[in-house]
Each structure stands twice: as C-alpha cells, then as structure tokens.
A = this chain, B = another copy of it.
C-alpha cells in the first residue's frame, strides 16, 4: 500500500465531522492484475432520500516544486481511478481532496477553471486548521 498523504487524518476527521462513516482506509481497487489504492472510502445515509451516498476520496497535498506538475499528477490519478471505479463500483463517486489554499491558487486559475468546467475533476475542499470540509465542487446534497 502506498504511503499516506500528509493530510490524511485531516480529511478523515473532516469527513467524520460532516456525518460520513469511513468504510475503507484505504479503498482497494483491482482491475486485471493491478491493485490500486484510493486514500479513503466513505458512506453517508441521506435520511430524506432513504438511501446512502458512497464516495471515494483521493487526497493531494500539492507540496511539489511546481503546481502544474502536481496538477498533472492529481489529474492522472483522478481520471484513472474514476474510470476503474466506473467499471467496478459504479455507485461510488470520486473526489479529489485539496486544501482551501490550493483551491484558491490552482483551481481558481484559468487552467484549474478549465478542468472544472470540462468536468475533469470533482473536488472536496478542506481546511487544515479547522479539519473541516469547506466545500464540494460541484455541490453535493447535504445531510440535512
């Protein structure tokens, strides 16, 4: 299994605080002979809909020397995991977890905007200080 991301526990705690149950840490995927590990799997019951939402969360620190290289890396993993999830657990929605400061610098830039506009990524934006979810992009139904 791969090394845990620096913000692994921050995101885990933020999800729990938001009403999610962590079901997988990490979430293992398998296609052919290849194993892949997404950082977290989580589930939440939406009482209003009487059914549950299932997500997979890949956490990216964006602590490399270049935002663009970090973005390639995150985007490549996201697209690959997305397509493998579609084949193997199609009801689980994938999110890339990034810090609020990364969201502001990378995803509010023209390149980040373009990728979001094209539906290439879905984001879970979190605050390190508060260990809390700041927003989902696009928005998902709230638990209330």
Chain B residues within an 8 Å CB radius of A111: 31-32, 34, 80, 84
Chain B residues within an 8 Å CB radius of A118: 83
Majority SS at the chain A contact face: helix
Q: A79-B79, A83-B120, A120-B83 are in contact. Are A32 and B109 (CB under 8 A)?
A: yes
Instruction: List residues 83-119 of chain A with CB under 8 A from any CB of chain B.
Output: 83-84, 87, 109-111, 114-115, 118
Q: A34-B110, A111-B31, A111-B84 are in contact. Are A75 and B71 (CB under 8 A)?
A: no
Copies in the complex: 2
The listed residue (B33, B76, B109) touching A71 by CB distance below 8 A is B76
Chain B residues within an 8 Å CB radius of A84: 111, 114
B36:A83 contact, CB within 8 angstroms: no
Q: How far is the CA of A110 from the CA of B79 in the complex (A)?
A: 15
Chain B: minimal CB distance from A139 (Å): 22
